[in-house]
Structure 1
Amino acid sequence: MKPIWLYLTQEDIATERLQCEQEGRDLSTLEEEFAYVQSLDLENLANQPAAQALLDKTLQAPIRPDFPFEEPSDLQAIRAARPKTAPSLPKLQLSDAALEDKVYGAWTGRAVGCLLGKPVEGWRRPRMWGYLKDLGRWPLSDFFRYHVPQEVQEKYQLSERAPFADLVSAMPEDDDLNYTTTALAIMKRFGPDFTSEQVAQFWMSDIPILHTCTAERVAYRNFCNLVSPPASASFRNPYREWIGAQIRADFWGYAAPGNPERAAEWAWRDACISHVKNGIYGAMWVAAMTAAAFVTEDIPTIIRAGLAQIPANCRLADAIESLFEWQEVGVDYDTAVYRVHELWDETRAHDWCHTISNALIVAVALLWGEGDFAKTICRAVQPCFDTDCNGATTGSILGILYGRKNLPTHWTEGINDTLHTGVAGYHTVKLADMAHETMRLIETLR
């Protein structure tokens, strides 16, 4: 038995090289060792020690002197590297009823956005865009459906096992909502002073290891081998800047409405068990944006409130800042998406699942979504990349802005307010109940 992500493959070795290059590491002294490991059959577990030894050495490779970014992973250094100024946000002045409606909108919007992207997760542009255009549904404006003409089903290899909107009556289990639920459960169990070690402890006691993916599964393996946070994030982990921590972040913003700094700190405590550098920053950015959405409806301000919590001179901030420049010179949505694809190759797993590529898609959808719920989640999913994650993140933020009462019924009715998760104690729950539990936590944290 060899479950994926619990041993190193040749694709992992290629990913590690690319990750190191993007981190600015000088690999010149490791070229021969890379070549040797790449010549091995890593499906033969007897060759795993050589691959593991290589990854131990890559983490010790020095950063090139000409690397232009400053990218710490510890909280104190991250805070010291933040921008000198941050957006001025109004204080939270919502009634309890209005606040709970926004929290309910966040949970529902996240589920709806996730469901929009879930059946096409992993589809690249030719497949998704071909499906939409063959059905006369371009650009995307509604859920993907299984019941379409047979020739379309066959051409695009639709499966009845996939969670198309016309095949489900609730939000199916998905890692995006599993982690939102996990964060709620962690806060309930350990309180606002929870530690990274307690997050790891919760995973091991309440989440089956095979319900995790990529960086999370590697971190889980590390916990089981007594590698504690934060070392668990980097030890033999080629996925340490992938999207996993970013998709775990929304709840920390729900629990800190109007307080981006607090949300970002909670996100850091969670993210640092499995991710480093931009993998952490993506989580902090999303958590801070989500918190800010409770007190401002201005999308650029929300995005900048997120950027205010991460290093000013990091690759993620640099990428997001470029989008503001594109808007200033009149770049349209389709061109913005094209430019993201020019920067990141969706056919390569590392690019498809990286924090920065998907953060760019989230920000494009927010900036070009015109504050419209449907347009924003559709513009987060249509570019491909990690469709369910990006639909969920944008749905979460727009769900807060709208509030549950104002979310379009067309988008919400199909899931019947019901969520399935893989988290112990929350296998089938009502979104209204999740919002109410969140609200009770907010009241205790004030």
Structure 2
Amino acid sequence: MTLVGVDVADRVLGGWLGRIAGNMLGKPVERGDHWTRDRIDRYLRQADALPLTDYLPEPVEPGVELELRPEWRECVRGRIHGSCRDDDVDYAILGLDLLETYGFGFSTEQVGELWLLRLPYLQTFTAERAAYRNLADGLKPPLTATYDNPYQEWIGALIRADIYGWTSPGEPRRAASLARRDAVLSHTGNGVYGAMWAAALVAAAFTAPTVRAALETALTVIPASSRLSRTVRRVLSLHESRLSWEETLSTLAEETSGLGWIHTIPNAAVLTAGLLYGDGDFTRTIALTVRGGLDTDSNGATAGSVAGVLGGATAIPPQWKDPLEDTVRSAVFGFDGVRISELARRTVRLAKTEP
């Protein structure tokens, strides 16, 4: 596939680099019930790191209230040598392996088969772990998503969706269709819509003139009556009314309260706000998204992917790319230590050869 005036290879590499960098930025504060927006900013002020223009700084003072996740030593500025292992990146790798193994006609059952073959059970969480257990017990989709699974509308399917956008540049409906086939293994309702929306958003970013245009295009692939669609439109409206980023997030926090910090809806609100107020600037986009709280590493990863596709790898500042050392740690069997550039090349090969 070729797109007039679009360097697909640079945009795909930008997506991979952006996803990994955004994930790394958010990982040390990934615990939305503790790391609220106010607490994240308090940590950054204490370290004299506002505005946030690089990976998180090391802790200035010990203390339970501002204690980072245990992996922080591999994810803060000055200590990063290649990416940390994380499920937000593992699923992008697994999706690439899925498309290389089964092609774009893959079935939901084949997604499950690949999970059992390539993904360790203890590296799955919430809805994915429930679906994995159901697969191991012999259940078939869609029962894998619905049986004994209280996480059906959480964010897990959304974080698996980028690969379908990267391999469908400029084709958001195709991307959404692929993401849906993957998502129904473990999710229902807004959990599935979140994956479709994210895949379409990434695909639209290859050709959209602005991030707002990409967001509006992505909304066309999900039901307008869904809560996800209504929430994203609400963020678009608040941004258009010239509310500040802080005021927009405070408003949305009230309107989505009670859903939990890993649910698709509040996280989509934080992600949409980060993209809109970041306005195409890579650093500002991932910084605002992570500062928004909730599932910080997942939201940072998706925001980084969209911003990376919008501007390409060449537009990502070196402080985000260089510490990654073109290397990914992964729990997906056969992929630990793989080069980011190699993942991007393989992704482009699929995007260009598939009709």
* Structure with bigger RCO (C-alpha 8 Å, 6+ apart): 2
Q: 2:229 and 2:68 mapped to 1: Cα distance?
A: 38
Using the size of structure 1 for normalisation, the TM-score is 0.75
Q: 2:87 and 2:70 mapped to 1: Cα distance?
A: 20
* Structure 1 residue matching 2:222: 3-state secondary structure: coil
Q: 1:153 deviation in Å?
A: 6.1
Q: 1:119 deviation in Å?
A: 1.0
1:359 counterpart residue number? 268
Matches within 5 A, 1:41-56: none
Q: 2:229 and 2:96 mapped to 1: Cα distance?
A: 28
* Structure 2 residue matching 1:188: 3-state secondary structure: helix
Q: Is the 8 A contact 2:111 2:182 kept in 1?
A: yes
Change (3 A) 1:426 1:327: same
Q: 2:277 and 2:103 mapped to 1: Cα distance?
A: 37
1:370 aligns with 2:279: yes
Matches within 5 A, 1:315-330: 315-330=227-242
Q: 1:152 deviation in Å?
A: 5.0
1:394 counterpart residue number? 303
Q: Is the 8 A contact 1:371 1:398 kept in 2?
A: yes
Q: Is the 8 A contact 1:268 1:284 kept in 2?
A: yes
Match of 2:29 among 120, 124, 128: 120
Q: 2:155 and 2:68 mapped to 1: Cα distance?
A: 26
Instruction: Structure 1 unaligned segments of length 5 or more: list them.
Output: 1-90
Percent identical residues: 38
Superposed CA deviations along residues 151-194 of structure 1, whole A, max 9, x for unmatched, are 25676234664233233201111000000001000000000100
2:66 counterpart residue number? 156
Q: 1:440 and 1:244 mapped to 2: Cα distance?
A: 26
Match of 2:212 among 300, 316, 334: 300
Q: 1:340 and 1:187 mapped to 2: Cα distance?
A: 36
1:343 counterpart residue number? 255
Q: 1:273 and 1:173 mapped to 2: Cα distance?
A: 23
Q: 1:439 and 1:197 mapped to 2: Cα distance?
A: 25
Q: 1:405 deviation in Å?
A: 1.7
Q: 1:127 and 1:304 mapped to 2: Cα distance?
A: 31
Match of 2:166 among 249, 254, 258: 254
1:273 counterpart residue number? 185
Give the partner amino acid of 1:306: A
* Structure 1 residue matching 2:338: 3-state secondary structure: strand
1:42 counterpart residue number? none
Give the partner amino acid of 1:288: A
Q: Is the 8 A contact 1:260 1:291 kept in 2?
A: yes
1:93 aligns with 2:8: no
Q: 1:94 deviation in Å?
A: 4.2
Q: Is the 8 A contact 1:366 1:376 kept in 2?
A: yes
Q: Is the 8 A contact 1:187 1:194 kept in 2?
A: yes
Q: Is the 8 A contact 1:365 1:380 kept in 2?
A: yes
Match of 1:226 among 120, 124, 138: 138
Using the size of structure 2 for normalisation, the TM-score is 0.94
Spell out structure 1 runs of 4+ moving beyond 6 A: none
Superposed CA deviations along residues 71-123 of structure 1, whole A, max 9, x for unmatched, are xxxxxxxxxxxxxxxxxxxx93146xx21111111100111111110111112
Q: 1:300 deviation in Å?
A: 1.5
| RMSD, aligned α-carbons | 1.7
Q: 1:135 deviation in Å?
A: 2.1
Give the partner amino acid of 2:205: A
Give the partner amino acid of 2:132: Y
1:236 counterpart residue number? 148
Instruction: Structure 2 unaligned segments of length 5 or more: list them.
Output: none
Give the partner amino acid of 1:189: T
Q: 1:351 and 1:343 mapped to 2: Cα distance?
A: 12
1:81 counterpart residue number? none
Q: Is the 8 A contact 1:285 1:307 kept in 2?
A: yes
Superposed CA deviations along residues 370-409 of structure 1, whole A, max 9, x for unmatched, are 2111000011100110000111001001101111122111
Q: 1:116 and 1:305 mapped to 2: Cα distance?
A: 27
Change (3 A) 1:136 1:152: farther
1:61 counterpart residue number? none
Give the partner amino acid of 1:325: S
Q: 1:140 deviation in Å?
A: 3.1
1:24 counterpart residue number? none
